A = this chain, B = another copy of it.
Amino acid sequence: MKTTDLPTATAPAKVLETALYAEDLGAATDFYQGLLGLEAFQTVPGRHVFFRIGDAVLLVFNPDATSEPSRNARIPVPAHGARGSGHVCFAMPRPQIADMRARLIAAGVAVDAEFDWPNGAHSLYVRDPAGNSVEFAEPWLWE
């Protein structure tokens, strides 16, 4: 069937949840809440910690837990769970990226890379404790 023959639907216009994976959720909380300043608003020990970011959420899951099927018949959340280094990028004005770099370096977090893209937008990359590649970039990078 051609896509033009399919029922029409409105394209998604917003990401509500961005997910990363980490086995050590305490270390993830220390990083995303203690260093980055995101509010950890829901924690299920051993399974996940969720962080509020604007009107969206950053979900950090322990793949050992979420790769098991849900046992709650009323909330049958499908299994998922990735291994290896994921990626997220936060939008941030350049002066705030500089402040964040200073804070992270003072906390002993190494800078993984830092450069200007061909269009001039600035990016700073670090690793979270699980090894995910965390980027801070000027929001006009993709304009």
Instruction: State whether A56 touches B15 (Cβ < 8 A).
Output: yes
Instruction: State whether B115 touches A54 (Cβ < 8 A).
Output: no
Closest-CB distance, A111 to chain B (whole angstroms):
10
Interface flag for A67 (CB, 8 Å): yes
Query: Which residues of A82-135 are within 8 A (CB) of B?
Result: 82-92, 96, 99-100, 102-103, 106-108, 112-113, 115, 117-118, 125, 127, 132-133, 135
Interface flag for A1 (CB, 8 Å): yes
Instruction: State whether A83 touches B84 (Cβ < 8 A).
Output: yes
Given contact pairs A11-B36, A78-B125, A82-B21, A16 touches B142 in the complex (Cβ within 8 A): yes
* Separation of A56 and B86 alpha carbons in the complex (Å): 17
Interface of A is mostly: mixed
Instruction: State whether B103 touches A7 (Cβ < 8 A).
Output: yes
How many A residues have CB within 8 A of the partner chain? 75
Question: Which B residues are in CB contact (< 8 Å) with A18?
Answer: 15, 18, 88
Interface flag for A47 (CB, 8 Å): no
Known: A11-B53, A79-B133, A80-B132. 13 other contacts (CB 8 A): A3-B107, A8-B99, A11-B37, A13-B91, A14-B53, A14-B139, A15-B90, A17-B137, A19-B87, A78-B113, A78-B127, A79-B85, A82-B85
